Structure 1
Amino acid sequence: MQRVLLITPFHKFKTMSYLLIGNISALICDDCIEPLANARIRVYLPDTRYPATCQPKGIFNDLQPLSAKDVLMKADRLLAETTLDDQGNFTLAWQEVHLFTEPLELDLCLDTLPGGTGSIQPRNFHLCSAVLHWKRGADGYIGAYAYVVPSAMWSKICGDAGAWVITGTIKRHRPVTQQPILRVEAYNAISGKMIGHAYTNEYGRYTLRFSRKDLYNGTLQPVKQGRCHMGPDVYFRIYQQDRLVLSENEEQAAAPERQDLAPCSCVNLRYRPSVVKWASGHIQGWINDVITLSGGRSKKKREQLRLTNALL
């Protein structure tokens, strides 16, 4: 008897490969975004108990909090999970036989907030349930997903965790060609203690973080009427190396925009360096010598004005 060998094409048995890349970040304010470093993103197969028509439409819905029970109940549908890098980027890959037209569920888990401030505990959120846009490649399908947490939502998440972040820019009254690196210190007007510090980047922007425990150090927090954020009244000091270039006090913290700071706040500052405070003893003496050796009163005034402008 002649035997017939049936050969099935290899692609019939090949499991389809999926690759999802993307980024998850959050808005501190309208002009400052921060990556959600070390957060986790999870991808789930759809829940077949509910028809697809009941799934939320679109991929940019607001975050929906998930309880520990919610996460546990969908564990058997988990496709893949990964941790975001320092820039909030992620890459997820999985092998699965299913249609690329099926909706997927994306969830986010925050064990810690950026900077390590606030309480440490899992905070789970539902990102979306949607059919992602896939592009066919040689080895399978590739898709992309990006999401930016709105500033109001991010402020609430930080507040629930007892974490604060202040961002903004620091500039001189007179523009300079090269922005110096500055040290920014924030002080709590209620206690007079420094609650955090940060350094500016090449654009003069700083991002300063602190936790609720940094505000009162175990003492009872005073409660005032109308304070909804339970935040500090803040004033600042700015240093260029060891030189103090801006020194605020409790009077600045009494301004309405400095009181009861929200968990996500933006404070822009300007400073005007003082020539007298800046000049060391030998430089100040050199200035006096120049003025003394100069001629008449008008010449001394011109020379003093020229030196002052040069130092500024």
Structure 2
Amino acid sequence: MSYLLIGNISALICNDCVEPLANARIRVYLPAVQTSADPQHGIFNDMKPLSAREVLMKADRLLAEATLDEKGNFNLAWNEIHLITEALELDLCLDQLPGKNGSRQPRNFHLSKLVLHWKRSSDGYVGAYAYVIPAATWHNIYANAGAWVITGVVKQHMAGAGHPDLKVEAYNALTGQLIGHAHTNEVGRYTIHFSREHLSGGSLQTVLAGRHYLGPDVYFKVYRNEQLLWAEDEKMARLPERQDLRPCSNLNIVYKPSRVKRASSQIGNWFSDVITLTGPKKKKSDKFRLLTHSLL
């Protein structure tokens, strides 16, 4: 008989956006010897960091390890060597943040210590586990990694739904440089990852006094089929939510396609036609003088 644990690990960027933990690693351990000083276990334990020493000390209890796919899903399998009533420990390792963002280094966290609910199958036991990292915790992880993520919905003014298949570019108003781009999904949501390295571009980063997050001031450009659809004024970067960008930020973009240029062009063509059709007619004597001049 064997055990199969399936599940998903993701994180909250904001209240209405969940980010899957692609390429993170999940580990399951046999329980340690219980002592009276140990905290109560349960699925809702707060996620807490683990030192390299703490990870090394529990290596002999490791049952299985798996890498999460691009949607944050995982499958863990191991042989039956413990009772289904025993508690298991679940840990998470983030070598790099989603989008291969931020400094690359092992970041280990304890997720839960819990007794899973197993279902008997023909091959063994099957269980499920899912965890969503709280927004505040995810914010701190991004901050410690020197990384940022911006997400939001792109929609047209007075439109209810977001627009898919649009390209969104984010610019740093402090330098005028592009810091990242992404395409909107089927509901019009974009997600842009960038790090402190993207901001500096290999040179000294522009830092203004009094900034807590050392983040950029951002404004956006939106493209459809590689043609510019909407370009924000750089003054938009002065809005409070656009300044000194938080590591996890939700910024919706509402664009108003301008028809002024097109209308002006059409009016200009129409006006030219009107002048041509209604202009002063040449007199017959004028035509005669022109003809005589050409013959001479």
User: TM-score higher than 0.5 here?
Assistant: yes
Q: What secondary structure is seen at the aligned counterpart in 1 of 2:186?
A: coil
Number of the residue aligned with 1:302: none
Q: CA contact under 8 A between 2:162 and 2:189: conserved in structure 1?
A: no
Is contact 1:56–1:128 with CA below 8 Å preserved after alignment? no
Match of 2:48 in 1: 64
* Structure 1 position 161, deviation (Å): 1.1
Please give the alpha-carbon distance, in whole angstroms, between the structure 2 residues aligned to 1:146 and 1:117: 23
Mean Cα displacement is larger for which, 235-244 or 124-133? 235-244
What is the rounded CA distance, in whole Å, between the counterparts of 1:178 and 1:292 in structure 2?
42
Report matched runs for 1:1-312 at 5 Å.
16-48=1-33, 50-51=34-35, 54-175=38-159, 179-277=163-261, 284=266, 288=270
In the alignment, the residues of structure 2 paired with residue 138 and residue 177 of structure 1 have an alpha-carbon distance, to the nearest angstrom, of 46
- Measured in 2, the distance between the counterparts of 1:226 and 1:153 equals 24
The answer as to whether partners of 1:191 and 1:216 remain within 8 angstroms in 2 is no
For residues 143-177 of structure 1, give each alpha carbon's deviation from its aligned partner in whole angstroms, at most 9, with x where no partner exists: 11000011111111111111111000111114388
* Offset, 1:184: 0.9
Q: For 1:60-90, what per-residue CA distance to the aligned partner results, in whole angstroms no more than 9, with x for missing partners?
A: 2221101111111100000011111111111
Distance 1:101 1:292, change over 3 A: farther
Q: Secondary structure at the match of 1:116?
A: coil
Contact map agreement 1:17 1:141 (CA 8 A) in 2 = yes
TM-score, normalised via structure 1 length: 0.81
Matched AA of 2:77 = A
CA distance in 2, matches of 1:90, 1:162: 27
The offset of 1:19, in angstroms, is 1.1
Partner AA of 1:129 in structure 2: K
Mark the CA change 1:236 to 1:278 in structure 2 (over 3 Å): closer, same or farther. Answer: farther
Q: Secondary structure at the match of 1:245?
A: strand
Mapped partners of 2:198, 2:162: distance in 1 = 34
Which structure 1 residue ranges, 5 or more long, are not aligned? 1-15, 294-312
1:127 partner SS: strand
**Partner Cα distance (1:187, 1:157) in 2:** 23
Gaps of 5+ in 2: 276-296
Compare 60-69 and 259-268 and name the one that shifted more. Answer: 60-69
- Per the TM alignment, residue 52 of structure 1 is displaced from its structure 2 partner at its CA by 7.3
What is the CA–CA distance in structure 1 between the aligned matches of 2:88 and 2:252, rounded to whole Å?
42
